[in-house]
A and B are shown apart, each in its own frame.
Chain A
Amino acid sequence: MAHRAASCRCSATEMDPLAAAIEPLVPGLRRYARSWLRDQAMADDLVQDCLERAVGRWRQRRGTEVRPWVYAILHNLLVDHKRQHVRRGTAVPLHLVDDVALGRPADQDAGLHHRDLLRALDALPEEQRTVLLLISVEGLSYGEVAAVVGVPLGTVMSRISRGRDRLATLLREGERPRLRSIR
């Protein structure tokens, strides 16, 4: 099998416009995929798929902002993936993720306990979790989130408020959320 090696891009000044627009987003895209999926390889596969599509469809973008456009491609792949896995019964709740999978040492204990945070996040409805991750973790603007998820701005604002209230309640009560029926 002949695999073509990636050509060396040795300095940022040689970067072509497409690479300059897309590559800075890659670390965030990987993080967003990993916040949805426990499996790093699977998350990276979806990011790869997203990037192939973004590069292939670059000319069809027609003036849309790059960041929400690329995040929307990934978001849709994640939603599809989750739907298929829930149907096949292989989805694993986020809080069962190894700390290792999140790229941090297991015994780090900064303020909130990570496992509690993941468990609470996992117990949120998907639509609330999505806006929470896109805003608080990915740092997207409210307008960008509306574009990624495909809902009006007002809906984003109410989802973020409800999501934060719910997250706070879950964390405060130390409630052990019931595992949603995954299978």
Chain B
Amino acid sequence: MTSPIGEDDLAAWIDGRLSPERQRLVDAYLEGQPDVHARLREQAEQARALASLFAPIADEPIPATMRVAAIRGRQRQPRWQLAIAASLLLAVGFGGGWSSARWSGEPRAGIAALANEASDNFRVYAADRIRPAEIGPDQRAMLIRWTSARLGERVTIPDLSTAGYRYGGGRLVATPHGPAVLLLYDGPQASKLAVLTRPMQIDKSASMTSTSSGTMGRVTWAVDGIGYSVVGERPAAELHPIADEVRRQADAGLVS
């Protein structure tokens, strides 16, 4: 007894994935079913057309950023700096009565920590319907004066209107590394975005790193001792152009 011809056999016939014995069986079946045979031949032709349509893409040289060595290099960098941060914390710990048991796997320094601070604050404040921002969008100067004084750095408010995001106010927030500024933005379809900025002790300069936390994407970097993290309910890849814009304006020293 052989098992009857199934639609799975016919699909595998089209793809040329039948075992030799099954192939003989299906071929014999198709001899007696010219209509089915014609349909399968047509579909096999369409499958080949589909493959050749997209084939050229796979012939393109791959971007250098997609090399495993390049990815590893980027991923290793924060971890290496984290190790320094850890040793610093431990050194402080032994001097100041800290327990090393308090050290958990969570990054506590560098841009990895900044990214987590950004998503933690985003989670709390962007979802707030009553008072997400302490200082509203009409009082930019006041926010800049206040937060610049607290951070000891000149704070700028990036204009993200070209990316479809309107500045919705900001606030001073607490992080394990001192005060930081959280700037909130409103985008299309009630989407939210935030930029967290603070001075950096570790990772004074770090290239853009994309990470995610749950459904939140984060793009985080540091320039000249100031860290930035752009966070939103979107994949980090989509936040990247916005982060580029924030960096461009920050580098240019634009103040709104």
Contacts and interface: CB of A to CB of B under 8 A. Distances in A.
Interface bracket on A? 35 or more
Name the residue in B39, B56, B69, B188 with the highest tally of chain A Cβ atoms < 10 Å from its Cβ. B69
B57 A30 contact: yes
Contact of A3 (B75, B207, B238): B207
B77 A4 contact: yes
A161 to B, nearest CB: 5
Interface string A19-32: 10011001110110
Contact of B54 (A19, A35, A44, A46): A35
A171 interface: yes
B73 A7 contact: yes
A121 interface: yes
A49 B235 CA distance: 9
Given A6-B65, A23-B67, A34-B57, A136 B50 contact: yes
B62 A164 contact: no
Contact of B223 (A1, A56, A88, A114): A1
Contact of B10 (A18, A35, A117, A161): A161
B220 interface: no
Nearest to B11: A160
Contacts of B223: 1
Nearest to A157: B8
B7 interface: yes
Contact of A135 (B10, B15, B48, B66): B15
Nearest to A101: B57
Contacts, number: 167
Interface in A21-55: 22-23, 26-28, 30-31, 34-35, 42, 44-49, 51-52, 55
Contacts of A7: 69-70, 73
A153 B142 CA distance: 62
A110 interface: yes
A51 B66 contact: yes
A63 interface: no
Contacts of A110: 49, 52
A106 interface: no
Sort chain B's interface into a size bin: 35 or more
Most interface-central of B39, B59, B63 (chain A CB within 10 A)? B63
A136 B47 contact: yes
A137 B51 contact: yes
A80 interface: yes
Contacts of A160: 11
Nearest to A27: B58
A157 B68 contact: no
A128 B58 CA distance: 22
Given A4-B77, A51-B71, A88-B188, A31 B58 contact: yes
A9 B188 CA distance: 43
Given A2-B205, A19-B69, A142-B17, 16 more contacts: A1-B205, A16-B69, A27-B59, A30-B60, A34-B57, A46-B235, A51-B66, A80-B235, A84-B235, A89-B189, A142-B12, A158-B7, A160-B11, A161-B10, A161-B11, A164-B46
24 contacts: A1-B221, A4-B207, A6-B67, A6-B69, A9-B67, A19-B68, A23-B62, A27-B58, A30-B57, A31-B54, A42-B238, A46-B237, A81-B237, A81-B238, A87-B189, A102-B54, A117-B46, A117-B50, A121-B50, A133-B54, A135-B15, A161-B11, A167-B43, A168-B43
The 8 closest A-B pairs by CB, nearest first: A45-B237, A6-B70, A19-B68, A27-B58, A103-B56, A31-B57, A136-B47, A112-B49
